[in-house]
Chains A and B, each alone.
Chain A
């Protein structure tokens, strides 16, 4: 399939170009605002020799554009520079490598939970439109959107961890060490991240199912005498999934935002808590790198989502 490969390559190239422009904006905004990193780290009273050595080590003596290109070229090789304050002198890539699988696991876990809940809720609400079940599901969905996820995580901890002692209230077993442990200790954080998303997904699926069910091809299928379950499976559900999957892609931005706060609450050593720690310590290169990596994750996920949509849509082929 050379055309498919070409399409994917084109989308990936577009994503990479956007990441590069995003990195450019992040770099210059950060540099304009934070002033001289050497003075920020060493303090105003640093000796000129120390400042000069620091600047040479972090390529700060080169022109700004050159500094940006060095940084960008480094990132393409997987080198994000050195951390300034939170883990002085350790490569940021090394800090991230340990944390990326954890964040990916928690995020994916949350998406799976949100998809499961929303598929059930959205489908039942659409099939029983206007009945009590629909009203309940729709109301629960609005409630879900209105609860800040970090608050929900404390309510869950209060009820399920401190009250019933079903789950741990704090701490997380890395999936690298034990998958079962990660699934168990990650359940509450994943559920807290998933709940608002599940609400958004369920609402989208319900609307999309109802809209698809009134399409002409569904009316035609009905007039041809196909059975109801067959029509639902083959005509309604499949086509209704396209906007549903698109919304999942759009929600990745909010999911990653949720991850940042929730990792902090549950003491999960992921990319989110790295970003927050770095923000507190004013570790500019690490904040910069985290921001770009989060942007990259969103863009890559969107490429994948787009491919899934193409695969689902019978009108589009690669």
Chain B
């Protein structure tokens, strides 16, 4: 196919995708919430008049007000500023983990399905084994092994989410392996990596993106849970889990710290989940059904 024809086709396909996307209320609402959350996490903390660790001992545990919409914590720090800052930490930690899981999991799944044989068997058994561990227990185990801390939370998220990408990409690659265009590429003696990246990956990308969207939501919960218990991100870095763990200490005197932080997490997760649901609806339903088996 000539490049100009390809781009013209791509353009029309893009417009059609955009139209069906705008017709799907779930996807639009989800994308809007997600965009707002991303904007707030990226720029919100800078716009606030307070710093995330700026103590104000005259304003300890003051309830939500105009000056402090989320109230202040036991050091008089503005909770909203900390949540905006913490959302950035949590999002980056989760997204980094999911990105790592997606890269490694997809590569392993695709190569495993395409090559077949013993390597496929061993790799998939390993993925199944990881998948059988309760996700949070596995993450907790990994934190003990790796040591508590921000980077290791990402690694733990990546390892718990890796089997999902490996399985999904493997199942879909198996379906596509015998497709005429893949066969043709193979007959033209194209090297395997090129076939995987140029022919197969673009055709399995959509469900992987959906999985990644839901995965970031999952990662935020894992991060918040680990840090909430105290084995994840370590204070004074304010991740959402750290702020909630902090709020737990004085929950009776200042319930707003924990409650409003959790509400912020719920809104972020709601956006990601709706976005993922909407994207899933938009995808080819047949491919989804076949890959799910």
**Residues 40 to 87 of chain A near chain B (Cβ within 8 Å):** none
**Residues 1 to 41 of chain A near chain B (Cβ within 8 Å):** 18, 21-22, 25-26, 29-30, 33-34
Main secondary structure of the interface of A (DSSP, over half): helix
Interface string of B139-155 (1 = CB under 8 A from A): 11101111000000000
Chain A residues, CB < 8 A from B168: none
Question: What size tier do the contact residues of chain B reach?
Answer: 35 or more
Main secondary structure of the interface of B (DSSP, over half): helix
**How many whole Å from A131's CB to the nearest CB in chain B?**
17
Chain B residues, CB < 8 A from A142: 270, 273-274, 277
Please tell me if B136 contacts chain A, counting CB pairs below 8 Å: yes
Q: Determine if A287 and B135 form an interchain contact, defined as CB atoms under 8 angstroms apart.
A: no
Q: Determine if B225 and A257 form an interchain contact, defined as CB atoms under 8 angstroms apart.
A: yes
**Residues 83 to 110 of chain B near chain A (Cβ within 8 Å):** none
Alpha-carbon separation in the docked complex, A279 to B231 (Å) = 8
Please tell me if B217 contacts chain A, counting CB pairs below 8 Å: yes
- Provided the pairs A34-B145, A264-B229 are in contact, do residues A25 and B129 lie with their beta carbons within 8 angstroms? yes
- Provided the pairs A275-B140, A279-B144, A294-B137 are in contact, do residues A148 and B225 lie with their beta carbons within 8 angstroms? yes
**Residues 142 to 172 of chain B near chain A (Cβ within 8 Å):** 143-146
- Provided the pairs A33-B146, A148-B262 are in contact, do residues A143 and B136 lie with their beta carbons within 8 angstroms? no
Chain A residues, CB < 8 A from B140: 260, 275-276, 279, 287
Q: Determine if B133 and A261 form an interchain contact, defined as CB atoms under 8 angstroms apart.
A: no
Q: Determine if A257 and B134 form an interchain contact, defined as CB atoms under 8 angstroms apart.
A: yes
Chain A residues, CB < 8 A from B231: 276, 279-280
Chain A residues, CB < 8 A from B230: 280
Alpha-carbon separation in the docked complex, A275 to B135 (Å) = 14
Closest chain B residue to A290, Cβ basis: B137
Q: B134 is contacted by which of A29, A34, A256 (Cβ under 8 Å)?
A: A256
Q: Which of B136, B143, B269 has the most A CB atoms < 10 Å from its CB?
A: B136
- Provided the pairs A151-B258, A154-B262, A282-B144 are in contact, do residues A275 and B217 lie with their beta carbons within 8 angstroms? no
**Number of residues of chain A lying within 8 A (CB) of chain B:** 48
- Provided the pairs A148-B262, A150-B225 are in contact, do residues A257 and B143 lie with their beta carbons within 8 angstroms? no
Chain B residues, CB < 8 A from A284: 144
Chain A residues, CB < 8 A from B255: 154, 158
Please tell me if A258 contacts chain B, counting CB pairs below 8 Å: yes
Please tell me if B259 contacts chain A, counting CB pairs below 8 Å: yes
Chain B residues, CB < 8 A from A287: 140-141, 144
Closest chain A residue to B142, Cβ basis: A29
Q: Determine if A298 and B221 form an interchain contact, defined as CB atoms under 8 angstroms apart.
A: no
Please tell me if B132 contacts chain A, counting CB pairs below 8 Å: yes
- Provided the pairs A151-B262, A279-B231 are in contact, do residues A146 and B133 lie with their beta carbons within 8 angstroms? no
Chain A residues, CB < 8 A from B224: 148, 150-151
Q: Which of A151, A252, A255, A276 has the most B CB atoms < 10 Å from its CB?
A: A151
Q: List the one stretch of B9-17, B72-80, B196-204, B244-252 in contact with chain A.
A: B244-252
Alpha-carbon separation in the docked complex, A97 to B131 (Å) = 26
Q: Determine if A299 and B136 form an interchain contact, defined as CB atoms under 8 angstroms apart.
A: no
Q: Determine if A299 and B225 form an interchain contact, defined as CB atoms under 8 angstroms apart.
A: no
Q: Determine if B132 and A299 form an interchain contact, defined as CB atoms under 8 angstroms apart.
A: yes
Q: Determine if B145 and A151 form an interchain contact, defined as CB atoms under 8 angstroms apart.
A: no
Alpha-carbon separation in the docked complex, A162 to B253 (Å) = 12
- Provided the pairs A26-B141, A142-B274, A158-B259 are in contact, do residues A148 and B266 lie with their beta carbons within 8 angstroms? yes
A residues adjacent to B (C-beta < 8 A): 18, 21-22, 25-26, 29-30, 33-34, 142-143, 145-148, 150-152, 154-155, 157-158, 162, 252-258, 260-261, 264-265, 275-276, 279-280, 282, 284, 287, 290-291, 294-295, 298-299, 302
Q: List 10 A-B contacts (CB under 8 A).
A: A21-B125, A143-B266, A146-B217, A147-B262, A158-B259, A276-B140, A276-B229, A280-B230, A287-B141, A302-B132
Besides A146-B266, A260-B137, A302-B132, 9 other A-B contacts (C-beta < 8 A): A146-B217, A148-B224, A151-B262, A154-B255, A155-B259, A254-B136, A257-B134, A298-B133, A298-B134
B residues adjacent to A (C-beta < 8 A): 125, 128-129, 131-141, 143-146, 217, 221, 224-225, 228-231, 244, 248, 251-252, 255, 258-259, 262, 265-267, 269-270, 273-274, 277
Q: What are the 7 tightest A-B residue pairs by CB atom distance, in nearest-first order? A: A257-B136, A151-B262, A256-B134, A146-B269, A146-B270, A33-B145, A294-B137
